Chains A and B, each alone.
Chain A
Amino acid sequence: DAGVIQSPRHEVTEMGQEVTLRCKPISGHNSLFWYRQTMMRGLELLIYFNNNVPIDDSGMPEDRFSAKMPNASFSTLKIQPSEPRDSAVYFCASSPPGRGANVLTFGAGSRLTVL
């Protein structure tokens, strides 16, 4: 099992540009989570999906952020337009159904720098 796969691992962009982060969850997992980590705010839950449906997006900072999960094996987090304060490490995590839903497996993260 390759685990949760995120891309890109690093992205440097200029303010105003569109950024798309991608995530492939573990096969068979039916819940997917997007987190953001900064020194100031720590790990913040942005949004999570269950069976491809967004369940709670109350952590999404503002309308510039959007997330989609078109199928069980792919999700995107898009920032448009990006701003310097969006610079952070973005983590994707997934968890399986049933009792295993207690355990989240995280990807390696995508480090975003907005200049």
Chain B
Amino acid sequence: DAKTTQPNSMESNEEEPVHLPCNHSTISGTDYIHWYRQLPSQGPEYVIHGLTSNVNNRMASLAIAEDRKSSTLILHRATLRDAAVYYCILRRTGANNLFFGTGTRLTVIP
């Protein structure tokens, strides 16, 4: 599976937008970009995924670069409950498994 690179940690003020970057320069044409997050003492939780176009759902937005070598997860208004480790993962079309990297630990400052 292609590798992703994320910053180890980021901070955000409460109520402000957060942009979490992910680099995946070796992405293939059949790789979906997935984001999961893990709140303290919980299992990972699905956030969003996309292939080529930007995606929005109730939790977040996913902005995918035109060349697909990078993407950004956008939390529009960070809350304290959004403090978690965010994982960016590439998943080949038709593949069932997910391989997690080290993720970005997001700290939200009140």
Interface positions of A (Cβ within 8 A of B): 4, 31, 33, 35, 42-43, 45, 48, 50, 55-56, 91, 93, 95, 101-109
Contact = CB atoms under 8 A, between A and B. Distances in A.
12 contacts: A33-B96, A33-B98, A43-B87, A43-B100, A45-B100, A48-B96, A48-B97, A95-B96, A102-B34, A104-B46, A104-B98, A106-B44
Contacts of B87: 43
Contacts, number: 47
A55 B94 CA distance: 13
Contacts of B46: 103-105
B44 A43 contact: yes
Interface residues of B, number: 19
Nearest to A33: B97
Given A31-B96, A50-B96, A55-B96, A102 B43 contact: no
B62 to A, nearest CB: 13
